Amino acid sequence: MIVHRLNLSLSAALATGVIWIVCALFVMVVPQMAARITSGMLHMEALAVVWQLDVAGVVIGGLAWMLLAFALVWLSTFIYQLMDISDS
């Protein structure tokens, strides 16, 4: 099976960026609910956490997560193609 590593990696990075923006908006609009959801997801008490949300943090954090998503998918498809012997 042919997997277009670059296209798949870019789409994962872009999808991560969209989810990051939605999450940031969610935290801005309903911070208490976001804290409750975070508490459940991380198995900790996040209600005492003070959200520090500014434009620079959203941009830098989003870019970092997008880079991580790109690298993870790129590496995953690289390993997958090494393991895929059906095209050989």
DSSP 8-state code for residue 87: T
Residue 43 lies in a domain: yes
Number of domains in the chain: 1
Phi-psi category of residue 2: left, alpha or beta, with phi > 0 → left and psi -120 to 50 → alpha:
beta
Residue 88 lies in a domain: no
In this predicted structure, what is the pLDDT of residue 87? 56
Residue 77 lies in a domain: yes
pTM, to two decimals: 0.83
Residues 6+ apart with CB under 8 A from 17: 62, 65, 66
* For residue 19, pLDDT beyond 80: yes
Q: Domain range holding 45?
A: 5-83
Please tell me which residue, 13 or 48, carries the higher pLDDT value: 13
CB 75 within 8 A of CB 6: no
Residue 48 lies in a domain: yes
Residue 66 lies in a domain: yes
42-87 pLDDT, tens digit each: 898 877 878 888 999 999 999 999 999 999 999 999 999 888 776 5
